Structure formats: structure tokens, C-alpha cells
Amino acid sequence: MDYVSEQMKNTLKHPDYFKVSELFTVEDLFNARVHLGHTEGSLDEHMSQFVFGSRLGYLIIDLDQTAGLLRDALNFIAHIAFRGGIILFIGRTPQHQLLIEDTAKECGEYAHTRFWQGGVLTNSTVQFGCVTRLPDLIIALHTMNNVISQHTAIRDAAKMLIPTVAVVDTNCNPNLVTYPIPGNDDSAASVNLYCKLFKAAILRGKEKRKELLKL
């Protein structure tokens, strides 16, 4: 028990223990079209801090900020995975549903890309019929259900003190998200890149868990 807690403390001393900064470069983000935002009219006021500028009416996201925030998010994800936390992937776009579910399967975590029942986080005992362990981290590939409404999980996770990592586009509200990642959430290339990075971070964390904590 002492050995385990000591190992956990050791990992926190290093700013990037799992070397997640090696997983991507700004050029990778650019090639995956992460910088492409929506039109100026749909800009959420809280996202204007992340916007680099606009071109022909379409907003460009500042990839330097994105890179830094993405590194923080990946580091956090790796730490959660290292400590054996339950990670839940969410997203409500049909185009990327299967990809998100496959990503979760491949790294041994959980996915919920279907209709969100109200009491999943806030009323889990009644919802699942027994006492359930809630996710320790929620990773959202899309924070919006459609153009107008935000995914209930973002608000409910904040209520239940569950940290969230979310990809926020220019029309999303990043307020309730613990680790926002400003970036394009509509292109297949960018969603593919995010899934690849999240999976890599989780697997790194789990690898270290097996190696150091022997669990």
C-alpha cells in the first residue's frame, strides 16, 4: 500500500511523466485541420480567447494555445489511467459514433455515444438498479448534441465533480469543462487524430500502471 502511494506521488513530481508531448506536433494538428472553426456568426463569446483570427468569414483556432491545452489534457488522462480510473468517452455525432466506440474498446475503457438517459450520473443507483461506480473522467469528442443544445453529461459531470476533457469548437461553451481542447470537432481527420491521441495517452498510463504498481 505504501509502495503504491509512493509511486503515485513520484509520478506527480514530473511535469510530463508520461511524455505525452511527444505524441503530436502543431504541424500534426494543422494537417488534421484542427484549426478550422465555424463561421463568425456562430462564435460563442467564451471561445473568442482561443480564436487566432478569421479567413473569408470562417474562424481559425489558435493552434499554439490548443497544443498547450491538449498536452495538459493528455497528461491528465494518462495520470487517471495510471491510477485505474474509469474513463467514459462521449459524443453524439452519428458519423463518428463507431470510431469513438472502437477507441474505447481498444484501450479497455467505456463509451456512451447513444441517447443519454437523464439519471446516468446524477441518479445512477435507480438508473442501473444497483450501486454503481461512476466514471472518474469523461472525455467528450463533441460537447453538442446538435447545433443548439449541449450534451447533458458536461453539466452533470460538473455537478458530480467528475473532471471532463472536451474538444470545444468555436460554437461550444467551454465553461464547465475542466480541460477544454479548442479545436475542430467536425472533420473526420481531426476526430481521428483526437481518438488516436487519447488512446495513446490511456495506454501509456496503463502500461506504467502494470510496470510500476504491478496491477
Residues that bind another protein (CB under 8 A): 84, 86, 88, 97-98, 101, 104-105, 109-112, 114, 117, 120, 127-128, 130-133, 135
Instruction: Please state whether beta strands 87-90 and 110-112 pair in parallel, antiparallel, or not at all (unpaired).
Output: parallel
Q: Which is nearer to another protein, 69 or 165 (CB)?
A: 165
Query: Could you tell me the smallest distance in angstroms from the CB atom of residue 109 to another protein?
Result: 8
Query: Helix, strand, coil shares of the chain as percentages rounded to 5?
Result: 45, 15, 35
User: Beta-strand (E) ranges in 123-182?
Assistant: 137-140, 164-168, 179-182
Q: Which is nearer to another protein, 31 or 95 (CB)?
A: 95
Query: Could you tell me the smallest distance in angstroms from the CB atom of residue 117 to another protein?
Result: 6
Q: Which is nearer to another protein, 98 or 188 (CB)?
A: 98
Q: Which is nearer to another protein, 42 or 93 (CB)?
A: 93
Q: What are phi and psi of 168, to 5 degrees?
A: -110, 125
Q: Which is nearer to another protein, 120 or 197 (CB)?
A: 120
Q: Which amino acid is at 155?
A: R
Contacts of 38-44 spanning 24+ positions with Cβ under 8 A:
38/169, 38/170, 38/171, 42/147, 42/170, 42/171, 43/170, 43/171, 44/170, 44/171, 44/172, 44/173, 44/174
Query: Could you tell me the smallest distance in angstroms from the CB atom of residue 19 to another protein?
Result: 26
Query: Could you tell me the smallest distance in angstroms from the CB atom of residue 90 to another protein?
Result: 9
Query: Could you tell me the smallest distance in angstroms from the CB atom of residue 86 to another protein?
Result: 6
